[in-house]
Amino acid sequence: MNQTREKILVTGAGGFIGHHLVRFLKKKGYWVRGVDIKYPEFSPKDEADEFLLLDLRNFRNTMEAVRGIDKVYNLSANMGGIGFITSVKADVVTDNVLINVNIAQASRLAGVKRIFFSSSACVYPRYKQKESRITPLKESDAYPADPEDGYGWEKLFSEHMYEKLHEDYGLDIRIARYHNIYGPEGTYKGGREKAPAALCRKIALAKDGDEIEIWGDGEQTRSFCYIDDCLEGTYRLMESDFKKPLNMALIDW
């Protein structure tokens, strides 16, 4: 149990990773405030000590979210599977840049002790991912930059912004690059689901003799990370002294 009862803010607490993180931190004894524009789909909102419905694109709302908070886990984003993020690029970039700038500035002004930013494997250059059997991407491979056109650029920009706020203002930052986090209680339909959930849904609904559609040529590889491992890695990173972007991925498929 956490003896100091630090107050933690989890943004994006209505989403897949966010609501799991709220539960994880509560079990460790922290006081947790969840914030999102929606409640969790598959778990009760009262798993958090306090759950606020706030649109963090509005700076005033963001200041309310960080009030009295010691540490922030910033998981809030307009996002989904690759089909979604490549179809609404303008909305994704605009919404997420606003959210990330607001959370960074509000946390700095409110005297938040430490802030975690959830980045993505989408920051990695497309020119390093043209072959099916590529060498696993390491953190330094992000530059020279050529990320996914939209969501990837937004994540890479936000990483850079957080690093500059650390350099200029001393904002204590932690950054993880998530690689396709999957597990129970995640979105599985509607276009925002990730590949494992989409495959499970297609197989579950298929009748004998049916075929299912899988994007790609069958030779592609992807990195995945199970939600429990993601939570443990995220927490350990947050409690460490490591301030550079770090991959959060365990296996290749």
Pick from 136, 123, 133: nearest CA to 217: 133
Please check whether residue 78 is in contact with residue 96, taking contact to mean a CB–CB distance below 8 angstroms.
yes
Beta strands across the sheet bearing 251-252: 181-182, 223-226, 251-252
Instruction: Say how many C-beta atoms besides its own lie within 10 A of residue 203's C-beta.
Output: 10
Distances in Å between the Cα of 178 and the Cα atoms of 99, 224, 245, 248, 253 are: 18, 9, 10, 5, 15
Q: Reduced to 3 states, what is the DSSP secondary structure of residue 195?
A: helix
Between 151-169 and 89-110, two packed helices, what is the crossing angle to 10 degrees?
20
Listed in sequence order, the residues at least 6 apart from 88 whose beta carbon sits closer than 8 Å to its beta carbon are: 78
- The question of whether 39 is a catalytic residue gets the answer no
Q: CA 233 to CA 194: how far, in whole Å?
A: 20
Distances in Å between the Cα of 175 and the Cα atoms of 51, 166, 171 are: 24, 12, 12
Q: Looking at this protein, which amino acid is placed at residue 126?
A: R
> Which residues on adjacent β-strands are paired with residue 251?
224
Q: Pick the catalytic residue: 30, 73, 151, 188?
A: 151
The residues carrying an active-site annotation are: 151
